[in-house]
A and B are shown apart, each in its own frame.
Chain A
């Protein structure tokens, strides 16, 4: 952290006088590549709605953790999300219902369960608002450290497994004929998303998380012609909107998460106008 503070001292930005702005900026610099990369696969694998459902299940996990009086509700939440993701994978592989229908079933169940547990015995809901709306400005150094660990883990996972995941996402039948265990690949990716979403949600909130998981990939897809460009654009868009959103929100006095999400939406709109129409 001291290196980071030293770098911040060198930057001629008035907003970096504040410790919380420094933390938020560092968190964004870690989150942008993390979610930029995951976003490419979520969009290719048509799982954007699923990541949203996972966010809700993470919230339910946190509610359960709080009720159990667990010292670290996040740990309980990770376990709950993993169970949720694995159960979803299992049901999807054995049901002939469309994936979005099943996601709807799981998502509403998770949310209902979360609210039910949180309000059980007349409990107040307000203490959970942090998780639903979240605030990147309140991110703590320990949480930033955790984001860094998650980023490294995802990069390692990606460098080993991304080829197989891509093939599974674009053509499961072809993947299986090349000896790739399709079901296992899908489950692994689902589990990875579940862990990342749950670990990040308590520090940054659901709103920014979902927009960072879907919009960079969606925008990059508008203009990318191959996987390299796809990943590159996605990470660059996430970085650009993260930083610009944070700066704008500071000077205009708006919510940082919402500003970042809107900035991503703007990038999507611009790339949509320049989308590839040719081969």
Chain B
């Protein structure tokens, strides 16, 4: 497996380059021959049926899974160090009884000072600053287990944005979020990528958002079946074969 940082190759704005990626778990081939380029400031949506290997792909990019092939990162002016990846895990659920506030969660992730001593004033201001990015300042004293799906996604997004990453990866950010929350979350991602010029990689089963928000859609079923602009992929034969014949998700 190779992971390196390069200065170019696919034009100067290529942020993530995946070449001939394959992942095996035990004897099962989960992914093979995956090739993909993600450019800076782009929102790329990974779609595919359940068990297609989307989450495995994200884990390989995060370095949490062994793989063969090349995953290379680059960012302007940051050639000499590993990229920062912000990650929001899939369907994150917390125990509703946990006495852990949003402020505690940030403190546990970001501060060396034990969270059970309470937050320092500076830390609290820092948390508020982070939450401001996702318009969630009012959530700071809520317990994490009581947040709605959309609120929790926003809080975890704020957490993934600190420190500011080069690439933001969200695994199924829209599952468990209602329609209103969905629009809000996607608008926010759009705003974030424009403000901070970072690349966003999401997996989703909700195709209704693709046209409006995604620059590039990648259809995966163990390998890349089709990739391109949203309409191009949604109207492709590969898409029809994958979803309609299986009676899978709806557009």
Contact = CB atoms under 8 A, between A and B. Distances in A.
A127 interface: no
B78 interface: no
B146 A227 contact: no
Interface stretch (A19-27, A73-81, A171-179, A252-260): A171-179
Interface stretch (B32-40, B88-96, B211-219): B88-96
Contacts of B154: none
Interface stretch (A110-118, A159-167, A195-203, A242-250): A159-167
Given A170-B94, A174-B89, A225 B114 contact: no
B118 interface: yes
Interface stretch (A86-94, A97-105, A144-152, A228-236): A228-236
Contact of B103 (A220, A224, A226): A226
B114 A159 contact: yes
Interface stretch (B9-17, B136-144, B172-180, B181-189): B136-144
A279 interface: yes
Interface stretch (B43-51, B105-113, B194-202, B225-233): B105-113
A173 B62 CA distance: 12
Given A171-B94, A227-B101, A176 B144 contact: no
A163 B99 contact: no
A44 interface: yes
Contact of B143 (A178, A231, A279): A279
A170 B89 contact: no
A56 interface: no
Nearest to A44: B98
Given A170-B98, A170-B144, A163 B115 contact: yes
Interface in A37-89: 40, 44
B64 A225 contact: no
Q: Which of A162, A163, A178 has the most CB of B within 10 A?
A: A163
Nearest to A167: B108
Contacts of A164: 108
A226 B104 contact: yes
Given A162-B114, A226-B141, A230-B116, A170 B100 contact: yes
A218 B133 CA distance: 35
Q: Which of B98, B101, B108, B144 has the most CB of A within 10 A?
A: B108
Given A170-B94, A177-B87, A279-B143, A229 B99 contact: yes
Contact of A227 (B62, B89, B112, B115): B115
Contacts of A167: 105, 108-109
A163 B97 CA distance: 18
B92 A173 contact: yes
B109 A221 contact: no
A226 B94 contact: no
B117 interface: yes
Nearest to B115: A227
B115 A166 contact: yes
A223 to B, nearest CB: 8
B142 to A, nearest CB: 5
A240 interface: no
B111 A163 contact: yes
Nearest to B85: A177
Interface in A173-231: 173-174, 176-178, 220-221, 224-231
Q: 8 nearest interchain CB pairs?
A: A224-B99, A226-B101, A231-B116, A279-B146, A228-B118, A230-B99, A163-B108, A177-B87
20 contacts: A44-B95, A158-B114, A158-B116, A162-B116, A163-B109, A166-B100, A166-B104, A166-B115, A171-B89, A171-B92, A173-B92, A174-B156, A176-B64, A177-B87, A178-B109, A225-B101, A225-B143, A226-B99, A226-B141, A228-B115
Interface of A: 40, 44, 158-159, 162-164, 166-167, 170-171, 173-174, 176-178, 220-221, 224-231, 279
